[in-house]
Structure 1
């Protein structure tokens, strides 16, 4: 029981450091992207059964810029698909990889 509690507290500290105001949806989206880099943003709606607006808002928040006035968390980057410019694919940034590493450490 103590080990699980310690892991939970460690994870909470990592989340607070990297995504202080994010929601469980944002964390779920990050984890799915980490497991499936290059996933199209539209595919996230199917994989996570979330509305497109929720996915879009969280991708902006996890990305470089949330809005023109507000920086994002810089955990992911969206790149246009080479074969279809309308499609944007999600990848982890260096900071996103650091975050993923910290999550794994916290749960070890």
Structure 2
């Protein structure tokens, strides 16, 4: 999926195109399409999405629920670098829970 960078109050999700974002996530998170279109109208040179922390949490949770653990981990790790301690703590907690669930699932195999 590209990478996520914290640029203050929003996160910048850089992708080659919106089509790089998994279809399941785009369908469950319509704001991704809206944000991509807004950025395109503003003449963004590289395809990117600017997401708030709440939107990035939504994206990460949807990715996790869809089984896209790479996208979820990327988003949680970006949030874990946020200067706001509450956001950082929540992101680390959700990442840890996801990784723990993956370990339990592997052990059951």
How high is the TM-score relative to the length of structure 2? 0.26
Greater share of helix: 2
Tell me: higher relative CO, structure 1 or 2? Use CA pairs within 8 A at least 6 residues apart.
Answer: 1
How high is the TM-score relative to the length of structure 1? 0.26
